[in-house]
Amino acid sequence: MQQILDGNQIDALETRYRTNFINSLSGYKSANLLGSINSSGQTNLALMTSVFHIGANPPLMGLLIRPHSVPRHSLENLLEQQCYTLNAVSCDMFEQAHQTSAHYDRDVSEFDATGLTEEYSDALKAPYVLQSPVKIGLSLVETQTLDVNNTVLVIGQIIEVQVDFSLMADDGKLDLNAAGLVAVSGLDEYHKASSLGRLPYASRNGVG
């Protein structure tokens, strides 16, 4: 039995209740750790649940950062170094990934605080997370502040991917179940997923 919440009722919800409710409305989200570094070599790791695909050619990804939230250090670092990494969160390390969202001081690396391990490649300065099954290196393309609520949209181009090639199907698709990735809902719930199947390209002549 569905009930209706109208705009006035949503506005009247207690702040924390509304945050939990609205955050869970969009459905399942991806979980990625944003790795960054500053000019002094101080690393930073932040859990992002707003990473999304923008395009495949060129290969572009977007993410949203609230300027006054924990990931502001990440934003400062990626603006300074013009690069960052995104590291998929798996069932084996989602508790450590969640822990990166604690308010650590500027001089504390979330790598040290959570026991996740830095890993570097020749392609970019920013650190990868060794434990992640899907590691993406990105070059910053642009940032833009959204007028509606001062959230910052960050767009990056993929310049490197580290993944076990056996996770890739013959047509290029990654098997996210086999990689053990988690999905997130709301601010704090983690899920594992199991496939219902791949569907064929939809034709106007009907399913299948």
Residues 102-121 that bind its own copies (CB under 8 A): 102-104, 108, 113, 121
Q: In this structure, what is the dihedral angle of CA atoms 48, 50, 55, 57, given to the nearest 10 degrees?
A: 0
Nearer to its own copies among residue 37 and residue 182 (C-beta): 182
- The DSSP bridge pattern shows strands 134-145 and 43-48 to be unpaired
Q: How many residues bind its own copies (CB under 8 A)?
A: 113
Least distance between its own copies and beta carbon 117 (Å): 14
Q: How many CB atoms lie within 10 A of CB 172?
A: 7
Nearer to its own copies among residue 27 and residue 41 (C-beta): 27
Structure tokens at 116: 């996740």
Q: Does 79 bind its own copies (CB under 8 A)?
A: no
Least distance between its own copies and beta carbon 143 (Å): 12
Q: Does 12 bind its own copies (CB under 8 A)?
A: no
Among 36, 74, 77, 100, which residue sits at the site for its own copies (rule: CB under 8 A)?
A: 100
The backbone torsions φ and ψ at residue 11, rounded to the nearest 5 degrees and listed phi first, read: -60, -35
Burial profile 44-75: b = 16 or more Cβ within 10 angstroms, e = fewer: bbbbbbbbeeeeeeeebbebbbeeeebbbbbb
Q: Does 40 bind its own copies (CB under 8 A)?
A: no
Taking the CA atoms of 77, 62, 96 and 137 in sequence, report the sign of the dihedral they define: negative
Looking at residues 46 to 75 of the shown chain, list those that interact with its own copies (rule: CB under 8 A). Answer: 50-62, 64, 66
Are the beta carbons of 46 and 70 closer than 8 angstroms? yes
Among 77, 94, 109, 131, which residue sits at the site for its own copies (rule: CB under 8 A)?
A: 94
Return the range that interacts with its own copies (CB under 8 A); candidates 35-43, 71-79, 199-207. 199-207
Q: Does 31 bind its own copies (CB under 8 A)?
A: yes
The CA angle 133-188-113, to the nearest 5 degrees, is 60
Q: Which residue has the tokens 């910052």?
A: 152
Looking at residues 139 to 168 of the shown chain, list those that interact with its own copies (rule: CB under 8 A). Answer: 141-142, 146-149, 151, 153, 155, 158-165, 168
Nearer to its own copies among residue 43 and residue 185 (C-beta): 185
Q: Does 173 bind its own copies (CB under 8 A)?
A: yes
Total number of residues shown for the chain? 208
Least distance between its own copies and beta carbon 207 (Å): 5
